[in-house]
Structure formats: structure tokens, C-alpha cells
Amino acid sequence: MHEPIEKTNEHLSGVKCVVTSCYYNAQGNYCSAEEIEIQHPDARETQETDCATFIKS
């Protein structure tokens, strides 16, 4: 299990997040996580990827 990622008062530049049910979702479709992790090392298509940073709010 990963350590929890810090939530900040800033947003990650260049990262758009429209998942309103995520703890890190910020107004304006921004991500307020300190960092993000996208998973599936062998992904070949978009639907094979997953945001491992997601936490249900």
C-alpha cells in the first residue's frame, strides 16, 4: 500500500481532472494532489490506464 499523497492548496500545472468524486479534485477541474501516479506499465490503450492517486471523497 502506498503512503497517502498530500493534498495541497495549489493545483498541478498542466493536469486536468474532471473526476468530481475524487478527494483531490479542485474547482475548475484541477488536481490538488502533490503528485499523481498513473498505472499499468504495459498499457497500450487509454482504457488500460488508471489513476492510482484517486481517493473517493
pLDDT in tens, 1-55: 467 899 999 999 999 999 999 999 999 999 999 999 999 999 999 999 999 999 9
Q: What pLDDT is recorded for position 13? A: 94
Angle at 20 between CA 1 and CA 51, to 5 degrees: 35
Q: Are 36 and 15 in contact (CB under 8 A)?
A: yes
In this prediction the pTM is: 0.84
Count of structural domains within the chain? 1
- The answer to whether position 44 is within a domain reads no
- The answer to whether position 18 is within a domain reads yes
Domain that holds residue 25: 1-34
